Every structure is written in structure tokens, then in C-alpha cells.
Structure 1
């Protein structure tokens, strides 16, 4: 008889609010389209705090099977002046959530930095719960702790 392994536990780490401009169409094929959504700034609060720097973007692929692939790439300057590179990938499956099309989705953010005090960001696994609005996307970032 096999037993079910225990569920991983999550611990809240910080919130990223990324301000965005309207999406820019890049490619359209049959029933799929790709948009780049410019990231224009924002704020990070919690275990790290700082500013989302302008110049990043979110590439959003609207797939012909009803799913969405999202990949955001941007960077943060912390209040201490450290730089954190962010790559955040998510996928919204059709019917995965009644709110998915309206903007709620899960993601897997990854971080890179040379800051000694922030190396924990590069050594741990994180899950993001994101919600997209017209002018910004809010991502609550949770560390997987067990």
C-alpha cells in the first residue's frame, strides 16, 4: 500500500506590484497571439523591499487550446541598492480556475543577485500567486519550506 507524501508548506515572503502599460501585439497565427506587456515600474514589500525598475516586460502567449503562457523578465533595485534579476513563468490552463481568464494565476519566480544578504533568493524555491489588473500585476511570493 502506498502512502501519499505530505504536502509542501508555503511561507509568505514578499509582494511585487509591477506597473504595466497596455500589451503590444507581436505575432498572430491562426488562433494564437503573442503580446509584450511593458513593465514600467512598481514596488516590492516584505522580506525584501525596493523598486521594480522600468524596462522589463511580460511575454503573454494566448494559445489556441485556451491556455495562456506568461513569462516576465524584469529587475528590482532594493532599498539597500542591491540588484535582483527576476524571471517569472506561469501557465494558465483552461478551466483551471474560474478567475484565470480574469487574471489570477500561479507562477514560478526565480531570482539572481550578487548581493550576499540576498543569496537566499537564489537558493530556494518560490511560488507566486499573481493577479493581473489593467495597470499593474500583483504577485504574492511564497517560499516552499518543506
Structure 2
């Protein structure tokens, strides 16, 4: 049986404002951090609105890979509230890491920063979010985390 290759359709981009990360710690071989979410914007062909302040990203670094576990809320332009749980991974070679740490904006293709979001809402007009699979391509830009979300068709 031949299965089709997945196709992706751009849905929207989220630009998330974040506060300074807090070191939590966890033990040998890994570091746990928490990054508070301060707000942001949502824009794109399928959804517009804002990122509500609150929520955050718990990140665990083991070696050169960071596992991400973010949870926050979006408010659509029509007032509907959408919950997002966004998990993923970030990894880069040491030179890219140094450039990121120095505050340089690095393009999405120069490191691995991918997410797998799950959305929840009871707003009928946004049920498509809770009934489809999405992938996110993330990057840091101007002190924000920018994530382009694509629906898997």
C-alpha cells in the first residue's frame, strides 16, 4: 500500500514574549528551567489574536538537546480562548549556541527548533485546531519566540 507523503499548510504564526528564565535544577546530567510567558501576538491566514500573559515553558537540557514543554493561552480576535500545549526539541551546534546566547537572531534552518502542539477549545469556529495535527517551526527573534504553525493535511 502506498501512503501519501504528508503535506503541510501554513495556519498562523505566534510571537511569544518571554521573561528571563528561572533556574529550577533537577540533578546530574540535566538542567530544568522555567521561562514565563508575558504575552504576544497571533497572525496568519487561519487565526489572529493575542497570546495571553501567564503560562510558561519548562525546558530540560540533557547534553546538547533541550526538551521543551510549554503551556499557555491564545485569545482569538473573536474573543475565543484556546489552550495550547506545545512540546518539542531545540538543539544546535556550539557555534550557533554561542550566537544565540549573544542575542543574534538565527534563521530556522540553522538549528533544530521544532514543536508538536495540541490545541483545545470549545469555540465551534476554532474546533479545527483541536481536530488536526500540527507541527511548529520555531526561532528566536528580537527577544521573542516565534513559531510558525502548520496543519498536517
The answer to whether the superposition gives a TM-score over 0.5 is: yes
* Larger helix percent: 2
Partner of 2:51: 52
> Structure 1 length as normaliser, TM-score?
0.86
Separation in 2, partners of 1:125, 1:100: 30
Task: Report SS of the residue matched to 2:130.
Answer: helix
Q: How does 1:58-97 map to 2 (within 5 A)?
A: 58-63=57-62, 65-92=63-90
Separation in 1, partners of 2:10, 2:96: 22
Q: Are the equivalent residues in 1 in contact too, given 2:91–2:113 (CA < 8 A)?
A: no
Match of 2:140 among 105, 115, 132: 132
Task: Report SS of the residue matched to 1:120.
Answer: helix
Aligned length in residues? 140
Separation in 1, partners of 2:23, 2:33: 4
Unaligned runs of 5+ in 2: 101-110
Task: Report SS of the residue matched to 1:72.
Answer: strand
> Structure 2 length as normaliser, TM-score?
0.82
RMSD: 2.3
Q: 1:109 to 1:62 in 2, by over 3 A?
A: same
* Larger strand percent: 1
Task: Report SS of the residue matched to 1:30.
Answer: coil
